[in-house]
Every structure is written in C-alpha cells, then in structure tokens.
Structure 1
Amino acid sequence: MKPLFVTVFLKELLETLRDRRALSLLLIFVLMYPALVGGILYQQINRATAPEKDGIELTVIGAQRAPTLMTQLKQKNINVTEAKPMSEEDITALLRANKVAAVLRLSDTYGSDYRDMRPARLELWHDSATDHGRQVADIENVLRAYGNTIAGARLLAHGVSPATLFPVQVQRYDTGTSASRSATVIGAMLGMFFVPAFFFALSPSVDSTAGERERRSLEVLLAQPARTIDLVAGKWFAASALSLAGLTLELCVAHGILKWLPLEEIGMSWRLSWSDLALVCLVSLALPLLAAALEIALAINAKSFKEAQTTASIAMLIPMVPVIVVPMMDLATKTWMYAVPLLAHQTLLRELAKGQAVGLLPFVLTFGSSLAIALLCVAFTVWRMKSERYMMGV
C-alpha cells in the first residue's frame, strides 16, 4: 500500500502538469536567464573582437604634419581618415554620431615644435559616453609608444642612453587563470540562475493551498481520515518536483551556452565540467524544497488566491537581496556565505568554476541551510492546518 503522502503527491503533480500556464512559465524561465546571460557575454565578445576585425576608426586633423605618426597608427590596425580643420562643435557632433572612436587634432605649430625639440601638442578628442573606451586606450598606447621612440632617438643623438629615462623597470606577472577571471566576472550573474526555483514552485504552491481553499476543495480534503503532515508533504513534494525539474534544466542550458561561447576572446573560459554541474544540481535539491515550503507557508495564511500570489511574489524578493548586494561589496569568499540560501549556491558555483577545491563543508552547508529553513516552513504549515478554527476563519 502506498503511503498517503505519495498519493497526494501524484494527485497534485498530475494537476500541475495539466496546467498549461505553469508549464509555460517553467519553459520561459528555463530559457530566459541563460539566454540573457549568454546575450550579455556575446555582446562583450563582439565589442572586444570588433577592433581586431574591422580596425579602429580615427579622424585626424592636420595629418600631413606627422606622416611618420600616421604610418605607425596604420600599422596598428587603426583606420586613419584625414579631415580638414574643424571647430569644437563639429568635432563634438562627429563623435556623438558614433561613427569614429576618436578625433586626433595636430596643432598648427606641430611641425616647428617637433623640429625645435619642443613638446609638440596633440589633441585627442573622444566621447566617454560611448562604448569606444577600449579603442581610445589603444590609440593612446600608440601615441605614447611613438613619443617614447622619439625621446629615445633624441637621447641617442646626444650620446645618452634611453635607459636613463627608466631607472626602475616593473615586470608584471598575472597568476590568475582564465577560469578564475571568468568566474569573477560572471559571478555576479550566477545567482540569477537559482532565483527561478522560486518562480517554478509559485503556481503549484499557491494553487494547492489558497486556490483549493477558494474552490472549497481544501475543506473536503481536511475532512478525510489523513494526517495533516501527509497532506502538506504531498503538496510540498509536488511543487518541489516542478521547481527541481525547471532548475536542473535551466542550469544545463546555461552550462551549455557558457561552454559554447568563445570566452577566450575576452581572456576568460568556462571550465566547469558536467560532473561538477551534477554535484551543484544535487546540492541544489534543497533549494526547490525551500522555495515550495516557503510559498506554501505564505499561501496558507492568505484569504484568497490573488492575495497568496501577491504575498508569495513579494517574499521572493528577500532571498535575492544577498545575491545582488554581496557581489557589489566585492567580499572575499567566507564560510558564512554557504549558510545563506541562494548566496550559498552562487558562491559554490563560482568557486567550482574557478577550478578550486572547495571541500565537503561548503556542500553540506549549502544543502543543510536551505533544508533546515524548508523544514521550519513545513512545520509552520502543518501547525496552521491542524487548527480548524484558523483554517475555516481565514
């Protein structure tokens, strides 16, 4: 004979699968967040690789005064377009049109200052409100290298070694791997992969509690010779099952997108293996249990289906706070983070993506913290449903 909670579970799950609205919501969130993150990273890759493919557009005023400089700019994949003298208003309008990365204007006395070994003035105009920041930095590097070359040649002409200008030589060594850089950059987005677990469980959780009370079917169910814990457990597991299925599918889709993107173009990589993802999904089993238990506990206190849906939707914003705030504070990974639901899952996935060994404790805390809160919510729901005066009076 099947346990009673299994019967309730199968009944609630079958009703949920018949609800096209719930299944449509699941499909939307399974695809939405991975597609959003993938789209953002794809745009970053396109912006980073566009200068290498198409070159950097630079308008130069007075280019004939520095032919050597123009040659050096063209050698660095910078497309130089010569222009006649322009006013400041015309330069501003050209930059706002977003057709060129910058405008380089050589002063009228550039040639004479250069020959007399006086500082020859160059004006580099750019619009910081556009997305040409990296291209402008590349142009500045070429100009800086050109100036250093001239300075070295002049010193040699006077019998002075150019090394005199650099009494200290700094060599930089970056020990960060592409995997750690990608985990750091993408880390702020990872938490959003787990938020839909609350959306997946919302519809079945509210419908099986406040919805049944509104339809007067909950009274009939409570009148049956069944323990309250069996009724609550069946509804809880049914809502959790839908949430778990949606979360697992979403993580797999997101993992596939991050594997497919050419992150190496921006100095990153996604080296999380499918076995690591399986561990994350296993640990994340407690998150759908928490989402369903929390929403059922809130819905059981509502007077109507609409009130329960509103209350549960607002409450879902609370777990999102640490996921958004903590990455903005740029805190180092601490053990306490694994005891905060959602933040724990985000931190665990980020550390695994870095290729670091996290040990057993983070897995236990991540699973245990969500499960403990879920059990408290279930206990509260059972206590509420045992009170006939409360259930009939709400």
Structure 2
Amino acid sequence: MKARFQVVFLKELRETMRDRRTLGLLALFTLMYPVMLGYMLHQLVERAVKPERDGIQVAVIGAAQAPNLMVQLKQKNIAVQQVEPMDEAAIQELLRSHKVAALLRIADDFSANYQAMRPARIELWFDSGAEFDARKRDVDEVLQAYSSNIAGARLLAHGVSPAALNPIQLQHYDTGTNASRSAGLIGSVLAMLFMPAFLCGVSAAIDSTAGERERRSLEVLMAQPARTWELVTGKWLAAATPALAGLTLELVLAHAILSWLPLEEAGLSWSLSWRDLALVCLVSLPLSLFAAGLQVLLSLNSKSFKEAQGMLTFAMLLPFVPGLAVSIMDLKTASWMYLVPMLSNQTLLRELAKGTEVDALAYLLTFAGSALPALATVALASWRMKSERFVLAV
C-alpha cells in the first residue's frame, strides 16, 4: 500500500506532465542557455586565435621611406598592404570597412628627419569601435620596438651605451593558470546554470496550491483521510521533480559543451571532470527541494493564482542577491559562502572549474545549506495548512 504523500505526489506529478506546452517551454529554456553560453565562448576563442591564424592586415602609406620598419612588421606576422596617399575621409572609410586592423601614414619628410636625427613622424590610424584592439596593440609594440632600436643605434654612434637609458631591468613572471584566469569570466555565468532549480518547478507549485484553492479542489483534498504534512510533502516533491530534472540536464549539457570547446586557445580552461559534476549534481539536490518548498509555501500564502505568480517572480530573484553582492564586493572564497543557498552551489562549481582542491566539508556545507531551509519551508507550510481560515482564505 502506497503512503498517502506518495499518492498526492503521483497525482500532482501526473497533472504536471499533462501540461506539455509548459514543459516544452521549460525544456527549451534549459537547453537554450548552455547552447548560448557555448556559442559566446566559441566566438571568444575564435577572436583570440584569429590574429595568429590569419595574421594582421595593416595598410601603409609611404612604406618605401621606412624599409626596416616594414621588415619588422612582417617578422611579427603583420601583413603590409601598401596604399596610395589618401585624405582623412578616405582613411576613415577604409578603417570602417574592417579590411585592415590599422593604417600607418609615414610623413613625406620622414627620410629627411630620420637622416638629420630629428623626430620622424608616423601616424597610426585605427578604429577603436572595431574588434581590433589586440591587433592594434601588436602594431603599437612593433613601432615602439622600432623606435627603441633606432635610439640605441644613435647612442652607440655617439659612444653611449643604450643600457644607460634602462637603469632597471624589469621582468614579468605570471604564475596564474588558465583556470585561475578564466575564473572571473566563467564564474560570472555559473549562477544562471542553477536557474532551472527555481524555474522548472514554479508552475507545478502554483497550480497545486493557489490554483487548487481557486478551483476549490483544495478543500476536497483536505477532506481526505490524510494529514497536512502528507499533502504538503506530496505537492512539494511534485514541484521539486521537474526542478531537479531541469537542473541536472542543464549542468550536464553545459559541462559537455564547455569540455568540448578549446578554451585553452583563449587562455581559459574548464577543469571539471564527470566525477566532479556528479558530486555537484548530488549536492545540488537540496537546492531544488528548497526552491520547491519555498514556492509551495509562498503559493499557499497567496489568495489567488495571479498573486502567487507575482510573488514567486520576485522571490526567484532573491537567491541571486548573495552571489551578486559577493561579485560586487569582490570577496574571496570563504567557508560561510557554502552555507548560503545558491551561492554555495555557485561557489563550489567555480572552485572545481578552477581546478582547486575542495575538501569534503565544502560538499557537506553545500548540501546542508539548502537541505535545512528546505525542511523548514515544508514544515512551515504544513503548519499553515492546518488552519481552515488560511486554507479557505477568509
């Protein structure tokens, strides 16, 4: 013989599965975000590797006056495209066409000033609104190196060592890994991966509480030989089931896409294994239960279906507040973060994606941080449902 809460659970789950349109929209949302995230990161990788693969195209006016500069540009995989002299309007039009990353205009008196050891002018034209910032910096570095070489040669010609102008030799050593560098970028989008926990079960939670109250079927259900906690538990589990399914599907799909992308080529990484993902899904189980319990509780406190919708729309944004506050305040990872629902799951996934060793306490705190509030919301909803005035909304 089935327990009473199981009967209520199967009944509510069956009614939820009949709403194919809502389930289809939820499935579309669950699949859409990982795909969009994968596409955006793919475009980021493409922009990062395109200069190395295709080279940099630079237009030059007056290239014959600086042959050594042209040689240095070609050594840095910068293709030189010699063009005829043009006015400012024509230069702007050329840059807006995005055919070249920048344009160098060498002054007509460049050779004369160079021979006379006077500053020889070179104009660097670029479009700051185009996606050529990295390529423009490469051209700028070549020009700076060219200028330094000339200055060093002139100092040697006068018997002065070029080292006199560089009293400090500064060397940079970057100990950061791809995982740590990608923590800020990828970590900022991890919160959305847990959105299905609060979105996929909201329809079932509202319909089984506020909806049944409007249809007057909640009174009939309470007249059955079942205790309030059994009724609430059945509705709670029915709302948590699609939330758990949507959350697991989103995490698995996102992990598959991020593992497939060549993020290393853009200086990023995704160091999560399938074992780590399974642990994340396991400790995220209470998050779906907490979201469903909160939605059932708030829907029971609503007098109408529309009131429940408005209240839950606002309530679904609250779990993102701690993560947003941590991001704005730039707080470092601390143990207390694993006790805050939603923030704990996001923090755990971010640390694992960085390749950081996470101890068992973090998993335990993440699990308990959502499990205890979930049980508290169900207990409160069961207590509230004992009042006939509350159920009848009088």
TM range, smaller chain: over 0.9
Match of 2:209 in 1: 209
How far apart are residue 22 of structure 1 and its match?
3.3
- Cα distance in 1 between the residues matched to 2:258 and 2:156: 52
Match of 1:156 in 2: 156
Q: Tell me, yes or no, if the aligned pair for 2:210 and 2:299 is still in contact at 8 Å.
A: yes
User: Structure 1 stretch 43-52 or stretch 161-170: which is displaced more?
Assistant: 161-170
Alignment of 1:80 with 2:77, yes or no, is no
Match of 1:367 in 2: 367
Cα 1:139–1:325 change in 2 (3 A) is farther
User: Structure 1 stretch 143-152 or stretch 38-47: which is displaced more?
Assistant: 143-152
* 1:71-122 alpha-carbon deviations (Å, 9 max, x no partner): 2212322222222333333333332333322121222221111112222222
How far apart are residue 29 of structure 1 and its match?
2.5
- Cα distance in 1 between the residues matched to 2:326 and 2:118: 52
- Cα distance in 2 between the residues matched to 1:215 and 1:96: 62
Match of 1:182 in 2: 182
Alignment of 1:132 with 2:132, yes or no, is yes
Secondary structure of 1:318 counterpart? coil
User: Structure 1 stretch 243-252 or stretch 150-159: which is displaced more?
Assistant: 150-159
- Cα distance in 1 between the residues matched to 2:140 and 2:325: 35
- The amino acid of 1:268's aligned partner reads L
Alignment of 1:331 with 2:331, yes or no, is yes
Cα 1:328–1:101 change in 2 (3 A) is farther
Secondary structure of 2:259 counterpart? helix
- Cα distance in 2 between the residues matched to 1:339 and 1:393: 35
User: Structure 1 stretch 2-11 or stretch 226-235: which is displaced more?
Assistant: 2-11
- Cα distance in 2 between the residues matched to 1:114 and 1:144: 16
- Cα distance in 1 between the residues matched to 2:350 and 2:226: 44
- Cα distance in 2 between the residues matched to 1:331 and 1:118: 52
Q: Tell me, yes or no, if the aligned pair for 1:184 and 1:350 is still in contact at 8 Å.
A: no
- The amino acid of 2:167's aligned partner reads P
Match of 2:243 in 1: 243
Match of 1:28 in 2: 28
Gapped regions of structure 2 (runs ≥ 5): none
Sequence identity (%): 60
Q: Tell me, yes or no, if the aligned pair for 1:55 and 1:77 is still in contact at 8 Å.
A: yes
Q: Which runs of 4+ in 1 moved over 4 A?
A: none
Match of 2:119 in 1: 119
Match of 1:266 in 2: 266
Could you say what the CA RMSD is over the residues aligned between the two structures, in angstroms? 1.8
Cα 1:275–1:217 change in 2 (3 A) is same
Q: Tell me, yes or no, if the aligned pair for 1:205 and 1:299 is still in contact at 8 Å.
A: yes
- Cα distance in 2 between the residues matched to 1:179 and 1:45: 15
Q: Tell me, yes or no, if the aligned pair for 2:213 and 2:392 is still in contact at 8 Å.
A: no
How far apart are residue 235 of structure 1 and its match?
0.7
- The amino acid of 1:242's aligned partner reads P
* 1:130-181 alpha-carbon deviations (Å, 9 max, x no partner): 2211111111111122222222333333343333332221222222222222
What is the aligned length? 394
- Cα distance in 2 between the residues matched to 1:287 and 1:216: 31
Alignment of 1:303 with 2:336, yes or no, is no
- The amino acid of 1:361's aligned partner reads L
Q: Tell me, yes or no, if the aligned pair for 1:384 and 1:390 is still in contact at 8 Å.
A: yes
User: Structure 1 stretch 105-114 or stretch 193-202: which is displaced more?
Assistant: 105-114
Secondary structure of 2:333 counterpart? coil
- The amino acid of 2:216's aligned partner reads R
* 1:176-221 alpha-carbon deviations (Å, 9 max, x no partner): 2222222332111111101221111111111111121222211110
TM-score, length of structure 2 as denominator length: 0.95
- The amino acid of 2:266's aligned partner reads I
- Cα distance in 2 between the residues matched to 1:90 and 1:342: 54
Match of 2:62 in 1: 62
* 1:32-74 alpha-carbon deviations (Å, 9 max, x no partner): 2211211111111111111122221212222221122112212
Alignment of 1:387 with 2:391, yes or no, is no
- Cα distance in 2 between the residues matched to 1:341 and 1:98: 47
TM-score, length of structure 1 as denominator length: 0.95
How far apart are residue 380 of structure 1 and its match?
2.5
Q: How does 1:83-94 map to 2 (within 5 A)?
A: 83-94=83-94
Q: How does 1:10-29 map to 2 (within 5 A)?
A: 10-29=10-29
- Cα distance in 2 between the residues matched to 1:3 and 1:355: 44
Match of 1:41 in 2: 41
- Cα distance in 2 between the residues matched to 1:392 and 1:72: 83
Match of 1:98 in 2: 98
- The amino acid of 1:264's aligned partner reads E
Q: Tell me, yes or no, if the aligned pair for 2:303 and 2:393 is still in contact at 8 Å.
A: no
- Cα distance in 2 between the residues matched to 1:250 and 1:152: 59
- Cα distance in 1 between the residues matched to 2:193 and 2:101: 36
Match of 2:170 in 1: 170
